[in-house]
């Protein structure tokens, strides 16, 4: 058995959080069998404070302020960046659309540890929050469809799991901080999505105004109703299409939903009785009450979230890392590597590789590099169930020749295969090219994904990897 430390850092619309986890790996195979390593336990060992996300302006994150928060939490947890072997830095919600989001992520990923990844994107955020909330585990253990709605300051991330598999994702620009209020309840700012809801209701709402609590409820009630429409409980309307988050998938409600879970900061306000209506200077509490009062949402069979406000950051720290298969081939000096773009071949393109054709692959690599200016890339294959020696030799020749034709002279050959054939393919590639080779199997990645590879673990038997989506609004 071996343990690694993982960190989750979530820079959200309203809050910034840091969580450390311990991942335990075990080789379940016998002494004379092919190693079979998997993550057998995930344990959160430190939960940091919930900090207000520092901003320089409505369109700029305070990068120095975020770094200070992260450094302080590292100190409180008793970890150094060198102690952390995997994890994720995630900018979520409206923060992902700030002008300097990518720069802040780049700075943090270098500061926080050698193998901390930088990810953003509404669909990926939905999945991570759903795993952190417990909805994913529920779908796995109860053999059912479980849906999670993670409601933060700027967005609602929706995901459906069917027996542990992600079957649908989506995101709405609906959250608790879409309207910010001063101490005297004067509107300080209003998001385009909230303004769209107000306009749909023909309500006057603008910065400097002082809406009453009943007026605010007139806005939060339709916001709650849009979640019901997104889940297919009511027909879609034009407003739903207007508040859909740019770049997100359109949530397609799966059949027979058995469990619905609410996470995120607003989840703590659902069903809250008494107390102030606007204690946080926003509409979060009112939105929570609107969700609780919505008859369509209230009728759903609910699952109590294991984490609410920390669902995304717990998911980032414990569920982003994947362990490679054990039939792998690599040059250790290449590792770790971060932010490698994925070039995914179609079934037809992959078949031509097994037939030894290099020119189609070389042309696709050249096109991909022209689009992305990538100096390195990862070739993603589905692989064959039982490849012949001839097929492996032909594929190695096609890949090696394509690399020579279209990649820089110092670029290593990096291949990701879903099926267990990477070791044999890597050996064949070594006989065909003088470039360093890394061939890893057991990991699925798609076009427009990025991959991080960590240092080998378990005496070199496996490699930790994170497949991610880098999307900025």
H or E stretch at 81: none
Q: Which of 227, 205, 200, 226 is nearest to 215 (CA)?
A: 205
Looking at residue 473, its pLDDT comes to 38
Q: Please report, for residues 129, 149, 208, 288, 302, the alpha-carbon distance to residue 298 in angstroms, rounded to integers and kept in the order given.
A: 21, 13, 34, 12, 8
The two counts, helices (H) then strands (E), for the chain are 14, 22
Question: Phi, psi at residue 138, to the nearest 5°?
Answer: -60, -45
Looking at residue 115, its pLDDT comes to 72
Domains and CATH numbers, the chain: 2-119 (3.30.420.40), 124-315 (3.30.420), 322-468 (no CATH)
Looking at residue 28, its pLDDT comes to 64
Tokens 């984490």, residue? 307
pLDDT tens column, 20-78: 999 988 876 555 445 566 677 889 999 999 999 999 988 899 999 999 999 999 999 99
Task: Please state at what angle helix 422-430 crosses helix 389-406, rounded to 10 degrees.
Answer: 60
Cα(135)–Cα(158) distance, integer angstroms:
11
Looking at residue 260, its pLDDT comes to 95
Looking at residue 40, its pLDDT comes to 79
Looking at residue 357, its pLDDT comes to 95
- Please give the structure tokens belonging to residue 61: 């994150």
Q: Please report, for residues 94, 108, 110, 305, the alpha-carbon distance to residue 10 in angstroms, rounded to integers and kept in the order given.
A: 12, 11, 16, 18
Tokens 């020119």, residue? 359
Cα(359)–Cα(403) distance, integer angstroms:
10
Looking at residue 114, its pLDDT comes to 72
pTM of the shown model: 0.82
DSSP string, 255-286: SSEEEEEEESGGGGGTT--SS-SSTTSBSHHH
Extract the residue ranges of the chain whose pLDDT is less than 70.
28-38, 119-120, 273-274, 469-473
Radius of gyration for the chain, computed over Cα atoms and rounded to the nearest angstrom: 24
Looking at residue 360, its pLDDT comes to 93
């Amino acid at each position: 058995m071996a343990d690694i430390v993982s960190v989750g850092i979530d820079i959200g619309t309203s809050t910034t959080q840091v969580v450390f986890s311990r991942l335990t790996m075990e080789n379940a195979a016998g002494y004379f069998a092919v190693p079979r390593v998997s993550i057998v336990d995930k344990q959160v060992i430190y939960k940091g404070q919930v900090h207000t996300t520092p901003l320089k302006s409505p369109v700029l994150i305070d990068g120095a302020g975020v770094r200070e928060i992260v450094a302080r939490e590292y100190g409180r947890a008793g970890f150094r960046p060198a102690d952390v072997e995997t994890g994720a830095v995630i900018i979520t919600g409206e923060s992902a659309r700030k002008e300097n989001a990518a720069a802040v992520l780049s700075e943090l990923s270098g500061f926080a540890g050698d193998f901390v990844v930088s990810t953003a994107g509404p669909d990926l955020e939905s999945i991570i929050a759903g795993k952190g909330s417990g909805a994913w585990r529920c779908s796995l253990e109860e053999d059912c469809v479980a849906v999670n709605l993670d409601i933060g300051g700027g967005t609602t991330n929706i995901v459906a799991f069917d027996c542990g598999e992600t079957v649908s994702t989506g995101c709405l620009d609906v959250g608790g901080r879409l309207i910010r209020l001063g101490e005297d309840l004067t509107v300080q700012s209003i998001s385009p999505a909230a303004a769209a809801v107000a306009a749909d209701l023909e309500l006057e709402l603008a910065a400097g105004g002082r809406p009453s609590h009943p007026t605010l409820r007139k806005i939060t009630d339709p916001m709650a109703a849009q979640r019901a429409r997104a889940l297919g409980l009511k027909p879609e309307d034009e407003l739903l299409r207007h508040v859909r988050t740019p770049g997100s998938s359109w949530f397609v409600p799966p059949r027979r939903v058995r469990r619905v879970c609410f996470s995120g900061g607003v989840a703590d306000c659902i069903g809250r009785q008494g107390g102030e209506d606007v204690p946080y200077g926003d509409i979060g509490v009112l939105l929570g009450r609107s969700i609780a009062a919505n008859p369509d949402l209230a009728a759903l069979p609910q699952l109590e979230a294991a984490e609410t406000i920390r669902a995304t950051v717990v998911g980032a720290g414990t569920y982003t890392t994947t362990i490679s298969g054990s039939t792998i081939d690599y040059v250790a000096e290449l590792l770790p590597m971060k932010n490698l773009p994925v070039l995914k071949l179609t079934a037809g393109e992959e078949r031509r590789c097994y037939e030894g054709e290099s020119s189609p692959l070389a042309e696709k690599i050249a096109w991909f590099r022209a689009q992305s200016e990538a100096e390195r890339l990862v070739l993603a294959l589905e692989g064959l169930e039982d490849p012949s020696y001839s097929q492996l030799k032909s594929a190695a020749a096609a890949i090696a020749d394509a690399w020579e034709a279209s990649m820089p002279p110092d670029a290593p050959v990096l291949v990701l295969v879903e099926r267990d054939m990477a070791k044999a393919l890597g050996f064949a590639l070594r006989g065909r090219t003088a470039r360093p080779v890394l061939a890893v199997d057991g990991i699925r990645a798609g076009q427009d994904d990025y991959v991080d590879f960590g240092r080998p673990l378990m005496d070199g038997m496996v490699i930790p990897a994170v497949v991610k989506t880098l999307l900025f609004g």
